[in-house]
Structure 1
Amino acid sequence: MTLDQLRALCAVVEKGGFHAAAEALYRSQSAISIAVKNLEQELGLSLFDRKGYRPVLTPEGHVLYGKARSILSRSEDMSSIASHFARGEEPEISIALSAIAPVEQVLDVIKQISQSAPATRMSLQVENMGGTLERLQEKDVDFAIAEQFVPVEYAEQVRLTSTQMIPVISPDFPLATRYPAITLSDLEAYVQVVVRDTSRNQPKRSAGVLEGAPQWLVNDFDMKKRMILSGAGWGRMPRHRVAEELADGRLLALSGKGLDAVKIDMYLFRRTGEPMGPVGERLWQLLQQCQYQ
C-alpha cells in the first residue's frame, strides 16, 4: 500500500470518477485505475461498485476511504512540519514566566508565533521568586520573564512591564472590622499567606514577608488568593490578579506604613552569547514590542 494509491482512491471519491481524478492529479486515467486496482488486490476486497455510470463506494470502501483520508492528512502534516524544520525552525521554544507577571500580551505574542511557526511547540512554565531565572541559568528554558533581585551577568535583558504587589484581606478576616485603620503591627499575630520560592538549587528568597508572624506556605497565587478570600489569612497579591475582587468588595487593599503598594519591574531575559533559531529570534523581537507600563 502506498500514499500514491491512497491519493488515487481519495481523488476518485472526491472528484466523482476516474477521469476527473486523473485530471485533478495530472495523471492518465489508466494510471489512476491501476493504482486503485492494485490497492484493492492488496486489501483483498472491492472498494468500488463499478456497475453504474459512476463508481460508487462499497460499504467497506466507505470505511477505508475515511482511513485513507486520515492517513493522507497526517502525511501532509508531517511534510509541512519537516519543511519547517528544514528551514532551521526549532522543534520547541520554552519560556519561564514569573507568577506575578501580567501575561495577556505575552500570550498574544505566543499566539502569533504559533500561527506563523505551527511546527514549533511552545512551552510555558510558571515559577515563583528565584525559580524563574534559575530555570534560565540552568538552561531548562530559552527565555525568562521575571523580576530582577540581583544583577544577572549571564543574560541580556529588556524591561517589559511592571506590576504592583498590594497587601489584601477579606471582609471575613478577623481584623476587617477595623479596616481601613489596620497597621502592620496589627497583622503580626495573624497568618500571612506566602507563595514559596520554586528555586531548586539557589538560596530561597522572600519578599514582603512580615518577620515573626505566622505563615502558611502555598505553591501558587491561585491558592493564595483562595485562602485570603476565605478569611484564613492576609497576603500580598499582584494587583492585576485581584482587580476584580477589589472592585466588587470581596477583597480590601491595605495601606499605611509598611503596607503601601510596591512596584516591581519585570524583564525579558535570554542567555548571552547563545545563537537562537529563527523562531526564537522572532519571539525575542515580538516580546520586546509588547512593552507596556
Structure 2
Amino acid sequence: MADDPRRLTLEQMRAFLAVVEDGGFHHAGTRLHRSQAAITHRLQALEEVLQCQLVIRRQGRVTRLTEAGQRFLHHARDVLDRVDAAMDSVRRDEFKGKLRVGVPDDFAIEHLIQAVRRCVASNMRLQLDVVSDLSARLSRMMEENALDLAFIKRLCRSRGPGRGGVRIVVEPLLWVADREVALADFDEVPLVVFSEGCVYREAAATALARIRKPWRASYSSTSYETVRRAVSAGLGVGILPRSALAPGHCILDAQRGFPPLPEMELTAVVAPHGQHRLASQVAAYIARTCATPWKETLGEARGRAA
C-alpha cells in the first residue's frame, strides 16, 4: 500500500532514523528489510509531508542533517521509542519482582537512567533498588552477591571471570585536552583521571608505560562531570570515551605522539544466583531501550570532533 502523501507515518519515521543512523539508503534498507528504492521513497514522502528537506544527500549517502532534520530527529526518536515501548508492554508478560541494580558513577548514564525509569514505569510490579558507584566497586559487589544486575564499564580487551553479559555500547577511548598539545611537550604527562580502579585510568597508565612515558595525576575525581570540567579548564590531559567529549575538547592522536588506547564497553552483567531470569530480562530490555539514543549521542560527538 502506497504512503498517503497527506499524512506522516511510522514507516516514514523509521526510514528516516535508519538512514541517519546507518549513514545511507543501502544500509538502511538492509536494516529494515526493504529495498533502497523503498527507503528513498519513504524519506521523500516524509519530506513532502513536512514540506522541508531533512538530510543532505550525496551519491546515496547522507552527509549531514539539515537544521530541520536535526530538530525532527529528536522528536522522531521519542515517538518511535514510545510506540515500541507500548507495543512491548502488551506483547510480553509484565516483569514482576525485586532487583538490586548497580549503575556506574564514572560514566555518562543519562540514557541508562532514562531506560531504567521507562522499565519501572511500564512494569508496575517491578521494584528496582539502584546504587551508583565506580565500576570496579560494582564488580566487587557482584562477586559478593550484593547485586542482582550491574551495568559495568570495562576495556574490550580485558578477560576474566564473569566476562559474559549483554553489551550495550562500545566506544573508543580518546586522549583529550582543552587545546592541541603534543606528548613531547611534557616531561611528565599531567592526567585528569578518575580514582583508582577506573578502567580509563588503567588504559592510560598501561599505554604510557608501554612507551616509558612518566605521568602524574594532576586532577583526580570519582565524578564523571567533574573530570570533564577539569579537562575543559585545562588542568591536564583526559581519557574519555567519544560520547563524553565536551565542546572545546581537542582529540590528541598519534600525530601528536599519543599512544593508542583500547575501546571500552558498557555491559549489563547478571548475577548467577537468585533472580537470574528476571535480571536477564530486565538487562535485555534496558540494553535495547538504550541502543538508539546512544547512537545519537555518539553521532553528535563525532560531529563535534570533526
TM-score by length of 2: 0.51
**Residue 251 (structure 1) shift:** 1.9
Out of 147, 155, 166, the position equivalent to 1:158 is 166
1:183 and 2:192 are equivalent in the alignment: no
The answer on whether the counterparts of 2:101 and 2:130 sit within 8 Å (CA) in structure 1 is yes
Percent of aligned pairs with the same amino acid? 12
Q: Judging changes above 3 Å, is the alpha-carbon distance between structure 1 residues 206 and 88 closer, same or farther for their aligned structure 2 residues? A: closer
Structure 2 residue aligned with 1:270: 270
Secondary structure of 2:236 counterpart: coil
Give the alignment of 1:61-140 within 5 angstroms: 89-97=96-104, 99-100=106-107, 103-118=109-124, 120-140=126-146
What is the distance in 1 between the residues matched to 2:164 and 2:97? Answer: 21
Q: Which stretches in structure 2 are left out of the alignment for 5+ residues?
A: 1-93, 296-306
How many residues align? The count is 188
Residues in 2 aligned to 1:88 and 1:224: alpha-carbon distance in whole angstroms? 37
- 2:185 and 2:265 mapped to 1: Cα distance? 29
CA distance in 2 between partners of 1:138 and 1:163 (Å): 29
1:144 to 150, 167, 186: 150
- What CA RMSD, in Å, does the superposition of the two structures yield over aligned residues? 3.4
Q: Aligned AA for 1:258?
A: F
Distance 1:152-1:260 versus aligned 2 partners, 3 A rule: closer
In structure 2, distance between residues paired with 1:269 and 1:241 = 22
Q: Deviation of residue 241 (structure 1)?
A: 1.6
Q: In structure 1, how many angstroms separate the alpha carbons of the residues matched to 2:132 and 2:124?
A: 22
Structure 2 vs 1, CA of residues 143 and 197 (structure 1 numbering), >3 Å: closer, same or farther? farther
Corresponding residue for residue 255 of structure 1: 253
**Structure 1 unpaired stretches of 5+:** 1-86, 172-178, 200-204
> Kindly tell me: are residues 252 and 262 of structure 1, through their superposed partners in 2, closer, same or farther at Cα, counting changes over 3 Å?
same
TM-score normalised by L of structure 1: 0.53
1:241 counterpart (241, 244, 254): 244
In structure 2, the partner of 1:75 is: none
Aligned-partner Cα distance in 2 for 1:288–1:223: 26
CA distance, structure 2, for counterparts of residue 129 and residue 263 of structure 1 = 16
Amino acid at match of 2:270: R
Deviation at 1:97, TM superposition (A): 2.8
Q: How far apart in 1 are the matches of 2:189 and 2:159?
A: 34
Q: Hey, what does 1:23 align to over in structure 2?
A: none
In structure 2, relative to structure 1, the CA distance for the partners of 1:191 and 1:169 (3 Å cut) is: same
Which of 225, 230, 233 matches 1:230? Answer: 233
Residue by residue, what CA displacement relative to the aligned partner does 1:5-45 show, whole Å, maximum 9, x if unpaired? xxxxxxxxxxxxxxxxxxxxxxxxxxxxxxxxxxxxxxxxx
- Larger CA Rg, structure 1 vs 2: 1
**CA apart distance, 1:196:** 0.9
